[in-house]
Structures are given as structure tokens and as C-alpha cells.
Amino acid sequence: MTTLIHLFPGQGSQQRGMGRDLFPRFPRLVAEASDILGYDLAALCLEDAEARLGRTEFTQPALYAVEALGHLARVEDSGRAPDFVAGHSLGEYAALFAAEAFDFATGLRLVQKRGALMGAVSGGGMMAALGLPLERLQSLLAADPGLASVDLANQNAPLQTVLAGPVAALEAAGLAIDAAGGRAIPLNVRTAFHSRHMAPVRAEFSGFLDGIDFAPLMLPVIANASGLPHRDGEVALRLAAQIDQPVRWVESVQYLLDEPDPEFLEIGPGQVLTRLLTDIRKAPVPANIARRF
């Protein structure tokens, strides 16, 4: 029998129209979400008349809700729960919901707070570095003292790493990447997510997490901050660390690829994680490479 693994994408996967087939199936949860958020969840996702879906404070609750409902629908339709779950950045919250670490409403309040804190931060940015392996990218950054403020934020695939830091330093890093034969693509983000520059947000969010009771996990959930399964009693610690630490996606997927006959299913809008999975399968890297961040 295959090992069924549900994957949940993070911010950037949102799109207008998401949830169209899900909202009529779960009217009670949709109404509950709208009450908690203070606005109409379905109208935001389906119409986005005020162009708010791309703003972090709206994106995160909306995407979590759609992915959580998508998980419920998939289990209901297939009659089979996944054996493992993992989510990229924000997607980790949908994964934890699937593992019953908290109920739908608690998860929504968590991402509402997370999105509000992260959305309030400005200054800095992010850049995708394509075509260079992690070691080469690390060498480039280490060789220039002017790039010391740039962090490795996400290792998405063996040849795709996202950098975060001050805009001027990122621009300089982009020139070095291009000169080394890679390709640097600035992302439409005005905050250095998953980097040391988010430490104040981590501190505030950590205090919020202290008030949450996390239930024992009913499924193994891979933690972004470690690339290994969450352990009961440490979920809040790992979620706080996720704010200013890199997303170890390559390492997370490699851990799952070691399971017997793994079958991956992306739950959420788009297929970004499915494409990354293909890249990771084609060009595997040593399992400990992301630990050198």
C-alpha cells in the first residue's frame, strides 16, 4: 500500500476563485470563519472586489481556510486520511489542522494573528536564486561582506533557493548570482520573511502561541524549521521558529521520499509544490544539506 502524503502550499498560491467548490460543502465552517475574521470569507476568495487577497493579513487566513476545507473534502470523498502531512510556510498550519493539533477555528485565529503581524512589517524583500546549488550560493554570499545581511529563507528545490534581506543587499546579491551563471528574480514581497529580520515578529507571535493548547498529533507533520516530524509539546516552539528561520522544504520532502511508495497529493490552489517535488526527485541532494543554512 502506498504512503499517502498531503502537501499544503504557502502564501503566493492564492488566487481569486479558490474555494468555489468547497464553500457550499461546508457552510457552517465558512460562516464560522467569516464571524472570526470580521468579513465574508467567500466574497474575499471568489470576488476580491477590494483587491485584498494579495495582502498578507488577508491572504493567510483565506489560504488556510481553503486548504483546511480542501483536506476535509478530500478525506470525505476518498474515505482515506493521509499517512503524513506537510505544508510550506503558511501551509504548515493546514497540515497541523489535518493532524488535529487544533480545530478549524483555532487554526484560523492563529493564521489571522500571524498574517496581521507579518503584514505590518515592511522594509526588505525576497529574491529567488535559480540555477545554483546551495553550496555555491552560500559561497557567493560568504565571499562578499556587503551581502552579510542576506539570509537563505527557503530552500525550495536543489536549484531554487529564496533569499531575504534589505533591498540594496538583495540587488547586489542578484548581480553576483547572475555573474555566477544563475538567475536572480526579485519577488513581489516587501518584507524579508523567514529571515533574522523577522525576529521581532517571532517574539510577539511566540507570546500569542503561549495561549494556545495544542492537542496530540494524530498524524506525523513535517516541521518547516527542522525538516523532521513535529513532536508533541514542541509545536508552538517550531511555529515560532518558522517565522525567522528558513523553510527547509527540500529536506522535508526528502524525509517523506524515504517512506514506502510515497504518493503525494497537493491540497490547495495551484501546483507549485507538485512542480517542486518533481525537481527534488530529479536532482536529489544529501539529506543534511539544508541543515547547513
- The amino acid at 21: D
Residue with cell 467569516: 34
For residue 152, list its beta bridge partners: 163
Taking alpha carbons only, the member of 44, 40, 37, 199 closest to residue 115 is: 37
Which listed residue (13, 89, 226, 252) is catalytic? 89
Is 194 considered catalytic here?
yes
Extended strands (E) in the chain: 3-8, 84-87, 125-130, 151-157, 160-165, 183-186, 221-222, 262-266
For residue 59, the one-letter residue type is T
Q: Which of 6, 71, 88, 194 is catalytic?
A: 194
- Which triple of cell numbers denotes residue 112? 489571522
Does the annotation mark 89 as catalytic?
yes
Question: At 258, which helix (H) or strand (E)?
Answer: none
* Cβ contact 245:239 at 8 Å: no
Here the cell at position 257 is 521520499
Active site (catalytic) residues? 89, 194
